[in-house]
Amino acid sequence: MPEQKSTLNPDFKSNDPYGYLNGVEGYQLPQEWVDNMQVPELHSTRILASYNEAGFERSGAYMGPIFFDPEYGALTMAEREFIGVIVSSINSCPTCLIIHGHKLGELIGDHGRAQRIAINYRTVELTVEERAIADYCVKLTEQPGRMEAADVQALRDAGLSDEKIYYVIETAGVFNLTNRMTSGYGMRPDDDFMVAIATKA
């Protein structure tokens, strides 16, 4: 990508870095990873994987089905992305909000609605079940030490089975993990992805 002109500054500046760490000099991602990567964070991933390839493989084996396998668990892909957007919004994780907000928009066929959910889901008409999931995920994210049986019962009262509640908690927990790692490492989406979604907007 060529250098970008700042929106707020008429002078040219270098592109924002793809991470706060420098990465191991000369490291390249395995070509198989590049060919199969399903997230638009190739440059950030290269930096982080340079320190711990095995760790990336282990985390991918666990989190990959949650993010990418429609047959996994009891939640639809849209429900998983909905949870991801709610959690990422509370955690103010711009990278996860951009990527998963865009994916939610694609899945529900309405990018404007997905953006409104990302900004403040309380302003969007949701089903009783969706609102209960969102409220639960907010509390789990903001106040994990105050979770109690009544919070799970509220999900049951909204119509969720215990199996579905299990996957709501797992998905919210995984997004909290990735939000914190993404923010801590300073990961950001690839420039070509940002250009592509801006062109579609």
pLDDT digits 0-9 by tens, 58-108: 998 999 999 999 999 999 999 999 999 999 999 999 999 999 999 999 999
The pLDDT value given to residue 64: 92
For 10, the token pair is 């008429």
Side-chain half-sphere exposure of 180, counting CA atoms within 13 A: 7
- Give the containing element (helix H, strand E) for 155: helix 149-157
Quick one: 168 exposed, middle or buried, by C-beta within 10 A (0-12, 13-18, 19+)? buried
pLDDT for 93: 96
Q: How far apart are CA 12 and CA 6, in angstroms?
A: 7
The whole-number pLDDT of residue 33 equals 81
Q: What is the pLDDT of residue 4?
A: 58
pLDDT in the model for residue 193:
84
Determine the Cα–Cα distance for residues 162 and 153; give it in Å rounded to an integer. 9
Q: How far apart are CA 85 and CA 89, in angstroms?
A: 6
Low-confidence ranges of the chain (pLDDT < 50): 1
Closest CA to 174 of 68, 16, 103, 71: 68
Ordered by where they begin, the domains of the chain are 74-185 (1.20.1290.10)
Report the pLDDT value the prediction gives residue 195, as an integer from 0 to 100.
Answer: 83
Contact between 166 and 23 under an 8 Å Cβ cutoff? The reply is no
Looking at residue 5, what is its pLDDT? 59
Listed in sequence order, the DSSP H helices in 21-127 are: 31-36, 42-49, 53-68, 77-90, 94-108, 111-120
- Say what the pTM is: 0.90
Buried b (16+ CB within 10 A) or exposed e, 151-161: bbeebeebebe
